[in-house]
């Protein structure tokens, strides 16, 4: 049996896309609840109010809290009911959009996503990652967006740190998906397609990623930036959709979720910590060519390749060791690799990466 999700029903990406938001959204209802944090609301509300009003749409802007938690989903679900929302709009970054997806699912309403950064593929995904006090507790499947509306002018104006983090997270589609693909006998056509798309995304990022970051730093929206936005949001979302559980995560995401036990890690973006995890995973797999390639490329993008670059300085810290234990716990995606992984092996890999980075930068 094949049971897959392909992606959003529609994906629109172009500069100034929000100027046409009224005609794009009016087919979904007249009373959307728009989830956004305060910063995103300050950016989007002035751009959305006139086009939506002209289309006869009366939005309710609901402030999103700190994280995508069950309590936050319940709170916003109740607001959606009380405001008689007839569709949900998730805006901003991954956690807010993940929450909007869960709320839309509980209310059984259409979902529209308007990402303001390219740091994750959440806008084009069906997955919501659930956190409690900064610690991941679950990953649940939810609604696909009826529409992903990407105003690339807004995304290109976001700090370059965000698009760089998205590149690291999108590269994980290949680096983490390939080991599980290689262990799958007679892979289905959908899984083969996920692999092919992940290769294309990887090539696009290595070809255009550095130029895209430079253009964002210079305040330019360029063809390279447009390609990175599409790769980080649309392609990554589709890869995760058609690849499913077989083609999703391995050591890099397991390490991310393990290290979230450390308070300082919460100051770093999802894709930043995943990028570091990809470097460690490449060492575990003894893939020296990819290891060096990632260290060099991530260093150019300002992504972390050492523990110190994530404000982790004490390898003997009991909390850090607990993070390694959680990473390697039974059932963890760390065991999707073809090589064995336990706390001791993982610590040795981390130490080896530190030494390799020192050698390269010497």
CATH number at residue 310: 1.20.1090.10
What's the distance, Cα to Cα, between the start and end of the chain in Å? 53
Residue 2 is predicted with a pLDDT of: 58
Centre a 10 Å sphere on the Cβ of residue 179 and count the other Cβ atoms it contains. Answer: 17
Q: Are residues 151 and 258 in the same domain?
A: no
Q: Are residues 264 and 127 in the same domain?
A: no
Whether 177 is in a domain gets the answer no
Tell me: the pLDDT tens digits for 111-127? 999 999 999 999 999 88
Residue 327 is predicted with a pLDDT of: 97
Q: Are residues 23 and 152 in the same domain?
A: yes
Residue 140 is predicted with a pLDDT of: 81
Whether 180 is in a domain gets the answer no
- 135 - beta bridge partners? 132
Tell me what percent of the residues of the chain surpass a pLDDT of 90. 88
CA–CA separation, 69 and 134 (whole Å): 9
Q: Are residues 26 and 136 in the same domain?
A: yes
Residue 142 is predicted with a pLDDT of: 81
Q: Are residues 40 and 148 in the same domain?
A: yes
Centre a 10 Å sphere on the Cβ of residue 180 and count the other Cβ atoms it contains. Answer: 21
Q: Are residues 142 and 42 in the same domain?
A: yes
Whether 338 is in a domain gets the answer yes
Of 141, 157, 173, which residue constitutes the final position of a domain? 157
Whether 182 is in a domain gets the answer no
Average pLDDT, whole number, for the chain? 94
CATH code of the domain in which 99 resides? 3.40.50.1970
Q: Are residues 14 and 153 in the same domain?
A: yes
Residue 138 is predicted with a pLDDT of: 83
Total count of domains within the chain: 2
- pTM of the predicted model as reported, rounded to 2 decimal places: 0.94
Q: Are residues 31 and 148 in the same domain?
A: yes
Q: Give the pLDDT mean for 63-85.
A: 94
Residue 4 is predicted with a pLDDT of: 63
Place of tokens 């979720």: 257
Residue 3 has pLDDT above 80, yes or no: no
Whether 278 is in a domain gets the answer yes
Q: Is 84 left (phi over 0), alpha (psi -120 to 50) or beta?
A: left
- 10 - beta bridge partners? 147
* Widest pairwise Cα distance in the chain: 62
Query: CA geometry: angle at 295 spanning 294 and 297, to 5°?
Result: 60
Q: Where are the alpha helices (DSSP H) in 83-135?
A: 94-107
Whether 220 is in a domain gets the answer no
- Categorize the per-residue pLDDT at 1 as very low, low, confident or very high, splitting at 50, 70 and 90: very low
Of 100, 131, 157, which residue constitutes the final position of a domain? 157
Residue 300 is predicted with a pLDDT of: 97
Q: Which helix (H) or strand (E) holds 312?
A: none
Tell me: the pLDDT tens digits for 87-115? 999 999 989 999 999 999 999 999 999 99
The Cβ-side half-sphere exposure at 84, using a 13 Å CA radius, reads 3
Of 157, 188, 210, which residue constitutes the final position of a domain? 157
Residue 5 is predicted with a pLDDT of: 67
CA–CA separation, 343 and 319 (whole Å): 13
Q: Are residues 142 and 262 in the same domain?
A: no
Determine whether 362 is exposed, middle or buried from the number of CB atoms within 10 Å of its CB (0-12, 13-18, 19+): exposed
Q: Give the pLDDT mean for 137-146.
A: 86
Whether 25 is in a domain gets the answer yes
Q: Are residues 282 and 150 in the same domain?
A: no
Q: Give the pLDDT mean for 156-185.
A: 96
Q: Give the pLDDT mean for 75-81.
A: 97
Domain around 307: 249-362
Whether 165 is in a domain gets the answer no
Q: Give the pLDDT mean for 294-301.
A: 98
């Amino acid at each position: 049996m094949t049971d897959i999700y392909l992606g959003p029903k529609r994906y629109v990406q172009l500069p100034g896309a929000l100027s046409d938001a009224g005609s794009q959204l009016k087919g979904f209802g007249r009373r959307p609840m728009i989830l956004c944090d305060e910063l995103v609301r300050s950016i989007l509300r002035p751009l959305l109010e006139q086009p939506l009003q002209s289309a006869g749409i009366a939005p309710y802007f609901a402030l999103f809290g700190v994280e995508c938690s069950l309590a936050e989903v319940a709170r916003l679900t109740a607001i959606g009911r009380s405001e008689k929302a007839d569709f949900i709009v998730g805006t901003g970054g991954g956690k807010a959009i993940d929450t909007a997806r869960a709320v839309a699912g509980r209310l059984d309403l259409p979902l529209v996503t308007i990402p303001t950064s390219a740091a994750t593929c959440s806008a084009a995904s069906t997955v919501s990652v659930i956190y409690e006090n900064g610690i991941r507790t679950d990953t649940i499947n939810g609604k696909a967006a009826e529409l992903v509306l990407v105003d690339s002018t807004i995304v290109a104006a976001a700090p370059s740190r965000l698009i760089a983090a998205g590149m690291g997270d999108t590269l994980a589609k290949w680096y983490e998906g390939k080991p599980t693909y290689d262990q799958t006998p007679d892979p289905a056509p959908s899984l083969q397609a996920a692999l092919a798309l992940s290769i294309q995304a990887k090539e696009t990022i290595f070809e255009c990623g550095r130029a895209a970051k430079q253009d964002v730093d210079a305040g330019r929206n360029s063809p390279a930036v447009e390609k990175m936005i599409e790769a980080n949001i649309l392609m990554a979302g589709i890869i995760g959709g058609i690849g499913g559980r077989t083609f999703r995560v391995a050591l890099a995401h397991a390490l991310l979720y393990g290290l979230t036990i450390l308070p300082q890690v919460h100051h770093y973006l999802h894709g930043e910590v995943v990028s570091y995890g990809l470097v460690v995973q490449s060492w575990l797999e003894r893939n020296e060519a990819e290891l060096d390639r990632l260290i060099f490329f991530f260093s150019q993008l300002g992504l972390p390749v050492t523990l110190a670059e994530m404000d982790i300085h004490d390898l003997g810290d009991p909390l850090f060791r607990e993070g390694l234990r959680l990473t390697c716990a039974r059932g963890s995606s760390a065991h999707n690799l073809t090589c064995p992984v336990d706390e001791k092996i993982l610590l040795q890999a981390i130490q080896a990466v530190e030494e390799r980075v020192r050698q390269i930068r010497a």
